[in-house]
Amino acid sequence: MRHALSIVEPVSIDYIEREIRTAGLRVSAGFPSPAGDDLEDPIDLIAWMVRHETATFWYRVSGNSLNRAGILDGDFVAIDGAGKVQPGRTVLALHNGDMTLKVLTRRDGRLWLEARSDDHYPPLPVLETTEIWGVVAGIARRYPVE
């Protein structure tokens, strides 16, 4: 049987405000016009993603149990400890002594931690000893550009 847990490792982040200009066009898979009048006001992407700065911590994901949810091995996830924990949200949980990132679901009157992967990971029942540390507030990923 496959090990059901993905490993998440906390990372230290120094917060430096950096604003970027965004194109005022919404595109599905295109490239915005280079004309300056298509630009919106600058935003700080980290501040946009992080709603509760003092309650948000960043972790690096290790594993593929959430690849169908768009969270990949090596991604950084912002975990908001003040975010509303509810079924359907991806949560960071301490389950049987292991940290794991899973989707919180409710079935048959019980809460479960479930993978979203092409591999078959068994669902983990939320126990009295399971601690939910927060919800995923955002994901950061880099792609090669060279």
The SS3 of residue 146 is: coil
Of the residues 12, 28, 84, 102, only one is catalytic, namely 102
Q: Which residues pair with 107 in a beta bridge?
A: 110
- The Cα 85–Cα 102 span in angstroms is 12
Contact residues for 118 (Cβ-Cβ < 8 A; gap 6+): 67, 68
Active site residue 65: yes
**How far is residue 21 from each of residues 27, 31, 38, 91, measured CA to CA in Å?**
15, 14, 10, 31
Catalytic residue flag (residue 102) = yes
Catalytic residue among 28, 65, 84, 117: 65
What count of Cα atoms within 13 Å lies in the side-chain half-sphere of residue 38?
9
Residues with catalytic roles: 65, 102
